[in-house]
Amino acid sequence: MGFVMFFIAGCRNENSKIHSTDITVEKKNAKIETPEYLEGKKYFNQYCMACHMQDGMGVPGMNPPLVKTSWVLGDKARLIGVVLNGLSGDIEINGELYSNSMGSFATLEDKEIALVLSYVRQSFGNDAGPVTQEEVAKVRASIK
């Protein structure tokens, strides 16, 4: 009898453990899909996806990937500069040469650029900190 009671208690314990793990997973997803993240995703789909693709993998030989590149994860001012100025000339990304050109997105607002770049830095397997509106404004002022 004592053994049976112990067994039931053990089962209950196991159930509550599974339950709390589910909650942790839910919280994790909720954290990444903030309104800011979803707004950044919207701008990405609108302005960048046609060339860099929905999964950020780009088009081999034409449009470089945005997955774990030094441009995306590295110096934020340089990354902001790509969006404000566009980019052309030969660049090598992950061992592949790209020589197409990307136009300027200077007509977007600082906030839109900050949100789209934060989205890119936190998607496609990237895990880097966000870009703020102030950081975009600073780079914009320096190239005027």
Q: Where do contacts with ligand HEC occur on this chain (CB under 6 A)?
A: 47-48, 50-52, 63-66, 69, 71-72, 79, 82-83, 87-89, 91, 93, 98-102, 105, 116, 120
Smallest gap from Cβ 98 to ligand HEC, in A, equals 4
Q: Which is nearer to ligand HEC, 22 or 90 (CB)?
A: 90
Q: Which is nearer to ligand HEC, 32 or 50 (CB)?
A: 50
For residues 119 and 29, give the distance between their C-alpha atoms in angstroms, rounded to a whole number. Answer: 14
Q: Which is nearer to ligand HEC, 69 or 133 (CB)?
A: 69
Smallest gap from Cβ 127 to ligand HEC, in A, equals 15
Smallest gap from Cβ 89 to ligand HEC, in A, equals 5
In the numeric block, the tokens 């995306």 are attached to 72
Cα 92 to the chain's mean position, in Å?
A: 21
In DSSP notation, 23-78 reads HHHHHHHHHHS-HHHHHHHHHHHHHTHHHH-TTS--BTTTB---SS-HHHHS-HHH
4-7 long-range contacts (CB < 8 A, ≥24 apart) are none
Enclosing H/E stretch for 110: helix 110-121
Q: Which is nearer to ligand HEC, 2 or 95 (CB)?
A: 95
Smallest gap from Cβ 100 to ligand HEC, in A, equals 3
